[in-house]
A and B are shown apart, each in its own frame.
Chain A
C-alpha cells in the first residue's frame, strides 16, 4: 500500500512537470485543463504527438518497443550470466596470474562509453572485416554486454572476495564440502547483496545506453524515435520517454527489493516489506 501511494505521488509530480513544460513550450495541442491532464495521464492517455497528427504519444513511442526490449533484456541477461561465471572462476584464482589482466580489461571496458565503442565496432568489424550485419542485433548486444558486464563483474568479484574471508566459509571447508558447492551456495549468495542493490541504477544506465546504441546502429526503436523527436522539437514525445524512464526505475527498484529478500538470507530477518 505504501509503495502504491509513493508511485501515485511520483506520477502526480511528473505529470505536473509535463503540463508546465507543455504550457511553456506552447505544445498543448488540445485545450485541456490541468486536472484533466493529470487524470488522462494517470489513465495512460498522454495526448497527441506534434508530428503525427493521428497518433498518441504512447502509440508512437511503443510502435517499435520490440527492438528496445530485445536489446535491453538480452544484453542484461547475457551480461549477468557472463559476469557471474567469470566472477566464480576468478574467485578460485585470486591473486594468481589471470586475475590481473582480467581486472585491467574490465576497468578499461567500464571506462569506455558506448558512444565510442559502438562506432569502433561498426568501422572495424562491419565495414572493414565484413562480419555480420549493420541492421541486426548481434553487434549492438555485444557493445552493450561488454560495457555492462564488466560493471557487474566488478561488483560480484568484490562481494565474493568479501564473503570468502568470512568465518562460515571456513566452517564449511572444515565440514568437508566441495569448493564448488561452497562457492555457489554459500559465498555467492552471501556476496549478492551489493550487486543486487546496484541493478536498478545500472538498468537505467543500460536503458540510456540502448538509446545511444539504437541511434548509432540506426536501429528503429524507442530510443532512435525519442532522439529524432527531440530534434523535431516534439515535446510530448520527449516527456513521454522521460515518464517511461521514471516508471521503469521505480518498478525495477521494487522488483530488486523483492529479489534481495528472496535471495540474500540475512536480509530475510529484517522485514522490509
Chain B
C-alpha cells in the first residue's frame, strides 16, 4: 500500500507537467503561411480527386512542363523549350536536364509518358478526363475502343528528354491547359513499386517547389520548400501549413488572431459585417451555380415541368439573393457567366411570370398522369448549402405545392450517388480553368462522366465539337452561344447566381512576379488568387 502511494504521486505530477507543456502555442508563426481547409485531402494522387484543397496541394508538390505566372502569361517550368508545328497539331517539348525527384532519381521522358497514359487509362477513373480529350485518340483509348492501341494515342517519347504530343484538332487553349494540374508529371518508379499505396507519406516522391513533410489525417498538411527545385531561389515562403477547420464560424476569430493568413470562406452571418470593411476585397468570379435536373427520371423528361420549376426559382431569385447571399452575387440568366468579350448573351427567363408558372405546372401534371414523388435534392453537406436548399424547398412548396427532401452528403458519397443517377436534383458549380465558355458546356456531352444531367443529344455533341475547334475569337463565341442555347431553351438547368467572392489577406502577404518584385495581390480574369505558393511572399 505504501509503495503504491509513492508511485501515484510522481506519476500524477509527470502527467500534469506533460499536459500543461502542450498548452503552449507555436512560437515562430511569421514565416509560415497557414491556410484553412474545410475537408481533408482524401488522396495526394492528382488523378483521383478534384476537390479544392487537393488541387492546391498538388499544384505545389508536383510540376507541369509549362506554368502560368501571376499575370496569366505562359512560362517554361520543367520544359526548357517547346516547338509547335505549322498546322498547330504537333507539340514537341524538351525537358530540362538534371532534374531529380525528391528521392534522387532522374526525371525523364518516361515519367511524362507514363503520367499522361495513367491519366487516360480507364481503370484510373480520372474525374478530369475531359481535359485530356484534346490529345489524339485519347478519348477512344479511354472509352476502350478495341481498334485503338497504345501506339495510336498522340503521346510519344522521342528520346530520354523529348516528348511529342499530337492533338486530335487544333485547340486555341492547349498551352494554357498544359499548365494546369491535369498534366502533372508523376514518378513512374514509385507508382510501379507501391501501387495504390504510393501516396502514403513514407512512400511519396515529388518534384515541385514544395515537398510533403507531414500529413496528420483530418488535422493538418505541412509542405516545406524543396531545396533541389530548379527555381529554388524564387521560393520565399519556407513552410506552408493547411489546417483542417470544420467550423467556419471560427475562421474570422482565427484570422484576427493571426492564426490563418488567407480567408475566403465566410459564413453567412458575417457577410454584412465584412462587406463594409476596408480590407475586404470583392471580386466577380467567372462562375455560375445552377441546379441540374436528372433527365433519367421520367417526370423530368417533361419540358413544362422543368420550365415551371425553373421559373418559380427565377422569380424569387432577388429575394433569395438578399436573404441568403446578402446581395453578394448577381442573378444568373444562363449557363455561361457574363463578362466574355463578343459573346451574344440572351435572357431566357423573360418568359417567366407567376401566371405562366401555374398554367405550365397544371399542364405538366395532366400530361404526366402520375403523382410527383418528393424530389431528392443532393448536395455536399455544408451548413450554408443546407440553409440555401431549405429556401429552395420552401419556394417550391409555397408556390407549386411540390415536396422535396434534402440529402446532404460528403463529397465522395455525393459523387457516388450522382454517378448512379439516384438523385432528382443537384447543385452544380462548374469551375472554369480558362476564360472561355468551353468549361461550362463540356459537362453535358454524351457519355461524359460529369454529365449528371444525363443529357444525350447528338445535335449538342455536333455543335460543341464544331465550336471548340474554332480559332477565331468572334466566331468561336457565336458558335458557343448556339451550344448554350440548347440547354437554356429546354430548361435543362436552373441557373442560380454568378458569384462574387470576398476575401481577406494577411496585410503582410504579397505576390511576387517573375522578376522577384513584390506586387499587390490581384486575382486573375477568373477571379481566383494564385494557389502556387511560389508566387507569394511575406513583406518584411
Contacts and interface: CB of A to CB of B under 8 A. Distances in A.
Interface of A: 50-55, 59-60, 63-64, 70, 73-74, 77-78, 81, 126-127, 133-138, 141, 215, 218, 220, 224-225, 228, 231-233, 262-263
Contacts of A141: 19
Nearest to A133: B25
B410 interface: yes
Contacts of B259: 135
Interface residues of B, number: 35
Contacts of B409: 233
Given A136-B25, A233-B409, A54 B15 contact: no
A133 B257 contact: yes
Given A54-B200, A231-B381, A225 B19 contact: no
A222 to B, nearest CB: 9
A232 B42 CA distance: 12
A72 to B, nearest CB: 10
Contacts of A231: 381, 410
Contacts, number: 86
B217 A77 contact: no
Nearest to B244: A220
Given A53-B196, A81-B12, A233-B409, A137 B19 contact: yes
Contact of A52 (B1, B19, B43, B246): B43
B219 interface: yes
Nearest to A265: B1
Contact of A233 (B247, B254, B413): B413
B375 interface: no
A263 B1 CA distance: 7
Given A220-B244, A231-B381, A138 B23 contact: yes
B19 A70 contact: yes
Contact of B219 (A126, A137, A220, A232): A220
B42 A52 contact: yes
> What 7 A-B pairs have minimum CB-CB distances, sorted nearest first?
A220-B219, A232-B410, A63-B217, A74-B19, A225-B218, A218-B247, A60-B217
Given A70-B22, A220-B220, A232-B412, 11 more contacts: A63-B219, A64-B217, A64-B219, A73-B15, A77-B12, A78-B16, A137-B23, A218-B246, A225-B217, A231-B381, A233-B409
Nearest to A69: B19
Contacts of A228: 218, 246
B23 A53 contact: no
Given A74-B15, A134-B253, A218 B413 contact: no
B199 A54 contact: yes
A139 to B, nearest CB: 10
B15 A224 contact: no
B348 interface: no
B342 interface: no
